[in-house]
Structure 1
Amino acid sequence: MKHTFDLLKTGEELNKATKALVMVHGRGGSAVDIVRLAPHLSVDGYAVLAPQATNNSWYPHSFMVPTIQNEPWLTAALQVMEQTVQQILDAGIDTEHIYFFGFSQGACLTLEFLARNARKYGGAAAIIGGLIGETIQQERYHGDFGQMPILLATSHPDFHVPQMRVHESAEILRGLHADVTEKIYEHAGHTILQEEIDLANRLIFR
């Protein structure tokens, strides 16, 4: 399976913007859904790009099954992320002015993409997500975030994303020199909270 490269663009025109935000939807969601959050983020003047997963899912199974069970969908999804970032770079926007916001399955995909080729982007907010795999395979991850800010916010408990995986992911990201903030909200449900939006604005989109 290969995801069709389907990109929703809103905000400032890409060839006029100096900053860009990549928004990645969760399982069963859509690019249209996730970009509805953009007006609540401090991203005025940003180009906003949201890739759309084929059949509204980036990969078929839990992010915590053996990675091979989510192939070839996972590799195809990572390629969509790479294509999205490359389109931004081709428009002349510097790496340090590219930002990310992902929710649930989209948060997992965002973190996996970033950690496999760590660079100093502008920052990333991952709401209810962690690195992908039955166990975290540290050898997959390399590069240097150069103290790029990353927010990992989650609910506890969460049926899809165990709190321990969020902690383990944070440690891997710190090992790649990211400035990671973890925030756990008790019994908040599998959703995006206003508090998480506010925190992302303070830490990432400042």
Structure 2
Amino acid sequence: MDAAGTDDAVLRLGAMPAHADALCVFVHGRGQSPEEMADHVIDRLRNSSAHVVLPRAPGGVWYEARAVDPLSARSASQLEAALDAIDAAIDLAVSEGAPGDRIVLAGFSQGACLSLEYVLRRPGRLRGLVAFTGCRVGGALRAQAATFLDGLPAYLSCGDADPWIPLDAFFEAAQDVARAGAALRVEVFPGRVHEVLDAEIAVLDAMLEQVAAGRVASGTRREAAA
């Protein structure tokens, strides 16, 4: 995709905001950059009518702890700041004319973990979730998620021997998303290293097309039943 704009905080690609038929926010992983995600993922998308915003973590790290570590006060604060950065990326694009009712949130590795946390902690803005190789952040605090996603399309993928995301943690995240009521698709790729395959990118492409055409349900917030 051609660049639509950039600044110190975000990289913006694809269609200009006011001309886009969907908005994709893509979150990079630990030690990565928006430019790397542009090379490895966004430039491989067929869809060129979406506006893509890639937020940038200070120092390339959204939070210092591993996702599977218990959530400390420091990592909890870093996590909230990272979720705020996603909101800020959405707000920036929408303020420039991007469609605020057709948003897909996606990410890889640490960015996938953040995307999962965002959809479960701050639901209501999204029309799709794509998490390439992620899990919940904080381990023992998983059960705190108490929101529901009514039919929100969600795609979670991982390798069966990924060096960073244990498969049991990946499946626990998938269970949380499923319990929250999302329309969930899960794929585990045998032998896949820490990367994003063409088959995974094709799912993001298809979701962007479906969101742009208005063929997906909206995620809504409601209280958990007692």
TM-score with structure 1 setting the length: 0.88
Q: How does 1:96-115 map to 2 (within 5 A)?
A: 96-115=101-120
Asked if the contact 1:118–1:176 (Cα under 8 Å) also holds between the matched residues in 2, the reply is: no
Tell me if 1:17 matches 2:9: no
SS at match of 1:137: helix
- Superposition CA RMSD, Å: 2.1
Are 2:93 and 1:88 equivalent residues in the alignment? yes
Would you say the 8 A contact 2:47–2:208 is kept in 1? no
Query: 1:44 aligned to 2:73?
Result: no
Distance 1:120 1:79, change over 3 A: closer
Alignment equivalent of 1:34, drawn from 37, 41, 61: 37
Where does residue 198 of structure 1 map in the other structure?
A: 202
Alpha-carbon contact 1:117-1:141 (below 8 Å) kept? no
SS of 1:75's partner is: helix
Structure 1 SS opposite 2:18 = coil
Once the 2 structures are TM-superposed, how far is the Cα of residue 32 of structure 1 from its aligned partner? 0.8
State the identity as a percent: 24
160 and 174 in structure 1: CA distance in 2 versus 1, 3 angstrom threshold: same
Alignment of 1:121-200 (within 5 A): 121-142=126-147, 144-200=148-204
Contact 1:126 1:153 in 2 (8 A): yes
Deviation at 1:95, TM superposition (A): 4.3
Output the CA distance in 2 between the equivalents of 1:90 and 1:17: 13
Letter paired with 2:35: V
2 CA distance for matches of 1:161 and 1:32?
23
Q: Flag structure 2 segments of 5+ consecutive residues without an equivalent.
A: 1-7, 211-226
SS in 2 for 1:196: helix
TM-score scaled by structure 2? 0.81
Q: Secondary structure at the match of 1:72?
A: helix
Give the Cα–Cα distance (whole angstroms) in 1 for the partners of residues 144 and 136 of structure 2: 13
How many residues are treated as equivalent by the alignment? 202
1-structure distance, mates of 2:71, 2:78:
10
The C-alpha deviation readout for 1:71-91, integer Å capped at 9, x for no partner, is 432221111011112223434
Bigger CA drift: 51-60 or 165-174? 165-174
CA distance in 2, matches of 1:113, 1:96: 16
Q: 1:119·1:146 contact (CA, 8 Å) conserved in 2?
A: no
Secondary structure in 1 matching 2:156: strand
What amino acid is aligned across from residue 178 of structure 2 in structure 1?
Answer: R
Report how far residue 107 of structure 1 moved. 0.4
Task: Indicate how the Cα distance of structure 1 residues 203 and 81 shifts in structure 2: closer, same or farther if over 3 A, else same.
Answer: closer
**What letter is aligned with 1:187?**
G
